[in-house]
Amino acid sequence: MDSVALAVTDGMLHFELSLACEVFGSAPAGVPGPWYDVAVCGPDAVRVDRFLLEPDHGLDRLRDAGTVIVPGWADIDRDPPADLVDAVRAAHAAGARVASLCTGAFVLAAAGLLDGRRATTHWAHTGELAARHPGVRVDPDVLYVDEGSVLTSAGKAAAMDLCLHLVRLDRGSSVANAVARRLVVPPHRDGGQAQFVTTPVPAPDNHPLAALFPWVLERLDQPLTVEDLARRAGMSSRHLGRHFRSVTGTTPLQWLLTQRIRHAQELLETTGDSVDTIAAATGMGTATTLRRHFNRTVGVPPDTYRRTFRSRNVPGPDGGPDGGPARTAVSGAAVASPGDGPSGRGTAPGSWRPSAGPARR
């Protein structure tokens, strides 16, 4: 998935296009090895909102990419160009992973890539997407949907969430977090989190759980319960659950488990600690418990995840000098991110997805 092609044509939205260029076009400082090879593909010069853009390659280049990204489509009342639709369809048939940002989902739907699949787009246009393409199972209440070889996101900021999700799948949590730090954005929002259509997204310092989150993250090694969290937040367990659902889109226990798994991922990537040590550091208690939850959530055992994403300069658990291959591709599968789709929304947690073709990992 190291080659990323951005599919552009007249009528694309510049925000989503620029966002994808920022995520995949520049490696964060300190990340070893090559970064993504990004190509902007389109028919001659194209008008992107107020800007005139000269693509690097024609749309036929999409077939050679590991990942194809379709930015937002400005005028959903107009059918997307046939050459763009055909090129996206051909790229997916050749094995590319195809992702749409915001209303780019209308291009994927026109190509038939969303038929029978769950998908989303900007909340203002989910009804139109469902009406125009009845074969698509449109979910209006999520930030993004990962269906393996086809991914879709909601609007604007959710496009960033999906791009970081792709980096996390390819390079691991620590690298995705480094990208987020460079761009000064939250490192992870679960795909199943609500789009907050009817209420504003709470500012970091003024929602009821703002002080609770960092307190929990500093104590992941401790056996915390819902009652402990409620007591710290100064509210009843039921009241706490309602706030968690509003702010995170999931339950307190599911959120806590996601934080434990994510911390375990970071330790597997960045340290040579044993699985037993990491189990204690993440509050899982025993290696057996960690392996069970990790395998169910991420889709692979901790040892397999470590071999895939551990940095080269990190010693192994046996103290050896070589930390093993950094972000080595795993044949025939892709590692899922924890917590995607809480409460049944988004991808089933921990999907270990089969290859869609020879260009897939």
Q: Read off the pLDDT of residues 192-202 as tens digits, 9 standing for 90 and up.
A: 544 433 333 44
Q: Is 102 a catalytic residue?
A: yes
Closest CA to 317 of 275, 260, 358: 275
How much of the chain, in percent, has pLDDT values that exceed 70?
A: 80
CA distance 346 to 144: 7
For residues 145, 113, 37, 63, the Cα torsion angle rounded to the nearest 10 degrees is 170
CB 263 within 8 A of CB 281: yes
Strands of 196-354 (E only): list them.
Answer: 333-334, 353-354
CB 325 within 8 A of CB 33: no
Q: Residue 160 pLDDT > 50, yes or no?
A: yes
Query: pLDDT value at position 120?
Result: 95
290 phi/psi in degrees, rounded to 5: -60, -45
Q: Which listed residue (21, 41, 102, 163) is catalytic?
A: 102
**Both tokens assigned to 286:** 């025993």
Angle separating helix axes 252-270 and 173-183, nearest 10 degrees: 100
Provide mean pLDDT across the span 115-131: 94
Residues whose CB is less than 8 angstroms from the CB of residue 339 and which lie 6 or more positions away in sequence, other chains included = 188, 190, 192, 250, 254, 255, 257, 258, 261, 262, 297, 349
Angle made by CA atoms 352, 357, 358, in degrees to the nearest 5: 110
Q: Which of 82-86, 211-215, 293-297 has the highest mean pLDDT?
A: 82-86
Q: Read off the pLDDT of residues 298-353 as tens digits, 9 standing for 90 and up.
A: 778 899 888 877 765 666 655 554 444 433 333 233 344 443 333 333 333 322 22
Q: Residue 213 pLDDT > 70, yes or no?
A: yes
pTM of the model: 0.65
